[in-house]
């Protein structure tokens, strides 16, 4: 065989067949439909909702199989405890830093100053409904909600933490099966391969889902929604970008890799989140890509799902900025003590955001309750732009959890900086 034949280049996909290109085009088409034909755009909502439901349908079995395989195959229990401790410590430090940065920026920019909001024209039921939900977000209720009513209830509810609890318990049980362990592990692996196979089929519909979600948002709120309360939106997007590039970028550099390389590597997942405003849609792809970089299964299986509840950097920035913005908009003076109280409560309330419908409003309401000077009814001011804020929240959360997984994996010596840099180029 000639050398030229053996060196024939591998066939590459045409540009229009690449998923992230399709999603990007679909988002643009969705914006155009929503702007030019608002009624049609609103009618396309089921495309976005349906795609998100399809993805969520597969998240529980994928998380279950990933965690069970990773934990059950780990023979060193001290390593498992060490990874858990490092993960929670990292999450708390970085999440608190996100809250502090959000507070600092909103106090400097003062986007709500001069707003002079008239709360009499707002729907009072919006704030009250969120406040009622927020009252149930106590530490005790949060911990009890992690425990499902039945073993299968964890998969029915769709919350990640109950699934994670059942997965860890199942893994410990498998470790005690002795000779039967290998047979059960093979079964778990088969179910995992089947789940990822279904997900590969579902992801092909991502462009339709992204187009439907964006068309609905623009069709319902109009292009003016992109400019409504623009100062807060611009400040939030800018703060999130600075947090990703400076804070997470510095953490990445210390661990030997470039944040820009990581963003390029995760471009498909980031565009998917942009189109659907849900970081959960990118979770299966994140698991596969982080493993491809060299992160061990147990590390990915523990850090990434846990991060979806305990490491919500974008949500933390949003909560601190939105709370102070509402105070400024309603001419409510907040002293240093009030803002410190907001910070401390947000550190707790943000941890309960996973699996809560309307989590942005609910967790924000839970934080505002501590400072009763800010009227709960003022939450209605954020309704028009929350859909567009949620995209930035979800993207920032996704990037933060990707960096966290790589950092923990590097701390555990699972991959070298040289190997990680080389694989990020692919």
pLDDT tens-place string over residues 336-386: 877 887 787 777 666 655 544 345 555 676 667 666 677 766 766 675 566
**Is 71 within 8 Å of 298 (Cβ atoms)?**
yes
Q: What is the per-residue pLDDT across 317-336, written as a single tens digit (0 to 9) for each? A: 988 888 888 888 888 888 88
pLDDT at 10: 44
pLDDT at 356: 41
pLDDT at 152 over 80: yes
User: CA 348, CA 197: separation in Å to the nearest integer?
Assistant: 37
- Which region among 307-311, 324-328, 392-396 has the lowest average model confidence (pLDDT)? 307-311
User: CA 167, CA 164: separation in Å to the nearest integer?
Assistant: 5
User: CA 35, CA 226: separation in Å to the nearest integer?
Assistant: 11
pLDDT at 278: 74
User: CA 84, CA 98: separation in Å to the nearest integer?
Assistant: 21
Q: What is the mean pLDDT of the chain?
A: 79
Higher pLDDT, 116 or 201: 201
Q: What is the per-residue pLDDT across 228-250, written as a single tens digit (0 to 9) for each? A: 456 777 888 999 999 999 999 99
pLDDT at 123 over 50: no
CA-closest candidate to residue 151, choices 133, 173, 180, 178? 173
pLDDT at 409 over 60: yes
Torsion sign (Cα): 57, 59, 63, 66: positive
In the predicted model, what is the mean pLDDT of residues 252-264? 94
pLDDT band at 212 (very low <50, low <70, confident <90, very high): confident
pLDDT at 165 over 70: yes
Q: What is the per-residue pLDDT across 36-92, written as a single tens digit (0 to 9) for each? A: 898 998 898 888 888 878 877 887 888 788 778 877 876 667 777 888 889 889 998
pLDDT at 150 over 90: no
pLDDT at 121: 44
pLDDT at 348: 66
Q: What is the per-residue pLDDT across 100-116, written as a single tens digit (0 to 9) for each? A: 999 899 888 888 777 66
pLDDT at 270 over 60: yes
pLDDT at 333: 81
pLDDT at 308 over 90: no
User: CA 420, CA 416: separation in Å to the nearest integer?
Assistant: 6
pLDDT at 216 over 60: yes
Q: Which CATH class is domain 18-424?
A: mainly alpha
Q: What is the per-residue pLDDT across 12-29, written as a single tens digit (0 to 9) for each? A: 667 777 776 787 788 889
**Is 66 within 8 Å of 301 (Cβ atoms)?**
yes
Above pLDDT 70, what percent of the chain? 78
pLDDT at 8 over 50: no
pLDDT at 144: 79
User: CA 283, CA 271: separation in Å to the nearest integer?
Assistant: 13
- Which region among 34-43, 158-167, 245-254 has the lowest average model confidence (pLDDT)? 158-167
Q: Of the spans 118-122, 167-171, 216-220, 400-404, which averages the highest pLDDT?
A: 400-404
User: CA 305, CA 283: separation in Å to the nearest integer?
Assistant: 8
User: Any idea where the domains of the chain sit in the sequence?
Assistant: 18-424
pLDDT at 117: 56
């Amino acid at each position: 065989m000639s050398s030229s034949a053996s060196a024939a280049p591998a066939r590459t996909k045409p540009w229009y067949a690449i998923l992230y290109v399709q999603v990007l085009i679909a988002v643009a088409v969705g914006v155009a439909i929503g702007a030019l034909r608002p009624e049609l755009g609103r009618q396309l909502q089921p495309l976005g909702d349906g795609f998100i439901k399809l993805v969520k349908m597969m998240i529980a079995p994928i998380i279950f199989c990933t965690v069970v395989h990773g934990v059950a195959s780990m023979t060193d229990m001290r390593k498992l405890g060490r990874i858990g401790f490092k993960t929670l410590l990292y999450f708390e430090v970085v999440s608190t830093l996100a809250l502090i940065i959000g507070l600092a920026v909103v106090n400097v920019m003062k986007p709500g100053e001069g707003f002079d909001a008239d709360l009499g024209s707002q729907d009072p039921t919006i704030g009250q409904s969120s406040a009622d939900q927020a009252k149930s977000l106590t530490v005790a209720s949060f911990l009890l909600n992690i425990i499902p009513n039945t073993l299968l209830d964890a998969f029915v509810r769709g919350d990640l933490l109950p699934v994670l609890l059942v997965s860890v318990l199942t893994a410990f049980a498998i470790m005690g099966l002795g000779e039967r362990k290998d047979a059960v592990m093979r079964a778990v692996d088969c179910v995992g391969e089947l789940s990822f196979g279904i997900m590969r089929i579902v992801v092909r519909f991502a462009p339709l889902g992204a187009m439907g979600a964006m068309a609905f948002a623009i069709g319902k709120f109009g292009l003016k929604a992109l400019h409504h309360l623009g100062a807060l939106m611009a400040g939030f997007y800018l703060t999130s970008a600075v947090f990703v590039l400076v804070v997470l970028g510095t953490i990445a550099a210390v661990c030997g890799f470039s944040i820009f390389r990581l963003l390029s590597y995760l471009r498909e997942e980031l565009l998917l989140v942009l189109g659907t405003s849900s970081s959960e849609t990118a979770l299966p792809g994140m698991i596969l890509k982080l493993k491809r970089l060299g992160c061990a299964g147990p590390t990915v299986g523990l850090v990434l799902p846990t991060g979806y509840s305990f490491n919500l950097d974008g949500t933390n920035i949003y909560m601190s900025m939105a709370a102070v913005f509402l105070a400024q908009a309603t001419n409510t003076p907040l002293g240093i003590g009030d803002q410190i109280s907001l910070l401390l409560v947000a550190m707790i309330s943000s941890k309960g955001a996973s699996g809560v419908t309307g989590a942005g409003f609910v967790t924000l309401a839970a934080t505002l309750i501590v400072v009763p000077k800010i009227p709960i009814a003022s939450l209605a001011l954020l309704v028009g732009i929350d859909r567009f804020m949620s995209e930035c929240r979800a993207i920032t959360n996704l990037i933060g959890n990707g960096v966290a997984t790589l950092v923990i994996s590097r701390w555990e010596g699972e991959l070298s900086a040289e190997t990680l840099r080389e694989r990020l180029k692919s």
